[in-house]
Amino acid sequence: MITLDAAFDSALARLEADGYASLSAIERLLVAIWWLEADVNNGGFEQYYFNSGGDFATMAPSALREIGAHEMARIVDEANAHFGPVGPSTSGVDRQVALERIRDAHPDAFELLNARFWTYPDDLAALLATSLGINANA
């Protein structure tokens, strides 16, 4: 049985080699959640939106809902709402410009959202493993 880490690694390798359009629905879900979790855990929502993982920010809430991580999806929806009704741009440059405007207007815009995310109100690893029928351990 494939592990969750191996599934992430495989999806990211395909993304890098063949692009987003080539990914299966499951791989797209994994990529959206992996980038979100990796960047927010490393440097908060500001890092997520600044980095290329933010390219998937508008997809992350639906990916989270698909696996049953409804509270995490609400947190990401709230973070995305700082960018306006259409959410963060998929263009890194445009998203970084918008992020700078948000920082200037509301320097602590993401602090409470970071703290809520970091409490892990939904067990992402377990939900992903259950949803995908794979091993969350190892």
Mean pLDDT of the chain: 94
Of residues 133 and 122, the one with the higher pLDDT is 122
Report if pTM > 0.85. yes
Query: Looking at residue 128, what DSSP letter applies?
Result: H
Q: Count the Cβ atoms, other than its own, within 10 Å of residue 81.
A: 12
What was the pLDDT predicted at 133?
Answer: 85
